[in-house]
Each structure stands twice: as C-alpha cells, then as structure tokens.
Amino acid sequence: MTTDLASKMGQELSGKILEISGQNPHLCMQCGTCSASCTGIDLMDLLPRQVMRLIQLGNARALACRSIWICSTCLLCTARCPRGIDIARLMEALRVINLRKGNEVLAPEKIPVDLIKEVPQMALTSGFRKLSA
C-alpha cells in the first residue's frame, strides 16, 4: 500500500468518525485522564487515550481493537476530559462503523438456546443494540 493510499484511507476514516460522533478528536492532548478514569480498563487491549491517538492518525487499528466493544458508555471519561471531548461518542462511532460493515460481535443465531432461556431479556436487548448489526 502506498503512503498516499494509506493517507487517503486515514482521512476517510477520520471523516466518518467525525460525521457520526460530532466530536473533534484533534482536541485531544494525550493527557491520559480518560484512561485513568475508565471503568473497563482491565478488559481493554488499548487504553482510551491510545484509541484517541489512533483516531487522530486515522489508523484503522482503532476499528479493530477490543476496547471499543468493552466500553460500557459509563461516561466517566467524557465527564473528566479537560478538552471537553465526548470519548464515549467516539467509541460508539467506531462500533457503528464496524456494525455498518457487518462486523458484529453478537450474532443472535449463535447464542445457545439454553443461554437465551437464562439470560434476562433486558440484557439480551442491550447486547443486541450495542453488539449486533
């Protein structure tokens, strides 16, 4: 892949994220407050601060990381970001881009029937809203 093509793809990704989230990731100064506040950090493969940096760079690794699916939209990072960035919205934008491509994490047909009987219906509904295309 040429540098020009990689740069064009990066710009397209940044544009899409901006359009969906309405947030400007370039305001991020990499202070790490979001990572220090994050309630899901133990299960994430990238810190929220690192996800922010990848978004700034238009790097597609931001789409492929586990952290965006682990994010519970608790909004602590959003409330504490000194630059006023709604990080949770950016995480959601990354999920939406994946789901629009059909990259879903929870496929209804793959859930064992026994589990469907046990899991609260609200949990299933929430899971489908967040994780299914």
**Residues at the site binding ligand SF4, with contacts judged by CB under 6 A:** 28-34, 37-40, 48-49, 52, 71-77, 81-83, 85, 87-88, 91
- C-alpha span between 118 and 130 (Å, rounded): 20
Nearer to ligand SF4, 110 or 129 (CB): 129
**Per-residue DSSP letter, 42:** G
Minimum CB separation from ligand SF4 for residue 4, in Å?
28
Closest to ligand SF4 by CB, 42 vs 109, is 42
Nearer to ligand SF4, 31 or 116 (CB): 31
d(CA 41, CA 12): 28
- State both tokens at 37: 């506040």
Placement of tokens 């990080």 in the chain: 87
